[in-house]
Amino acid sequence: MNEYFFTLSASDSPEKKYPLNTAYSLLNNLTFNHITSKGKCGGKAVCGCCRIQITSGQDKCNPPLAEEKVYFTQIELDQGWRLACQTYCLRNIAFNLPD
Ligand code: FES
């Protein structure tokens, strides 16, 4: 079985690597690793509070869903902004977790 990782950058801590379970959304992976709790809407793309910016591996993720396009402009989507609750990645990925 392949092991994949996500690398997380946050403004208040150094970059760190965590195991990635590709069967689950990035929000669930953040929860599994005790980094953040479920979003306010429980991962239903309603609250917009689980924004992340992918810096590497965006091409290995599912494309942005219509629900995400409510929260981001096309430029932001092109810059890697996504809702973590709607994003699944099949390989290693790196992303920023804004404050
Ligand atoms: S958790 Fe609410 S939009 Fe992602």
Residue 98: per-residue pLDDT: 86
Q: Do residues 60 and 91 touch, judged by C-beta distance below 8 A?
A: yes
Q: By the 8 A CB rule, do 93 and 61 touch? A: yes
- Asked if the 4-97 domain carries CATH number 3.30.930.10, the reply is no
> The pTM is what?
0.93
* Ligand 1 atom nearest to 48, measured from its CA: 3
- What gap in Å lies between CA 28 and CA 20, rounded to an integer? 10
List the chain pLDDT tens, one digit each, 99 residues. 679 999 998 777 789 999 999 999 999 999 999 998 768 999 999 999 999 999 999 999 999 999 999 999 999 999 999 999 999 999 999 999 887
CB 96 within 8 A of CB 82: no
What does pLDDT average to over the chain? 93
Element (H, E) at 7: strand 4-10
| 68-82 per-position pLDDT tens digit | 999 999 999 999 999
| One-letter amino acid for residue 51 of the chain | R
Looking at residue 1, its pLDDT comes to 61
Number of other CB atoms surrounding residue 22 within 10 Å:
13
Is the distance from the beta carbon of residue 43 to the nearest atom of ligand 1 less than 6 Å?
yes
User: How many other CB atoms are there within 10 angstroms of residue 82's CB atom?
Assistant: 26
Q: How far separated are the first and last CA of the chain, in Å rounded? A: 34
For ligand 1, what atom is nearest to the CA of residue 47? 2
Is the Cβ atom of 16 under 6 angstroms away from ligand 1?
A: no
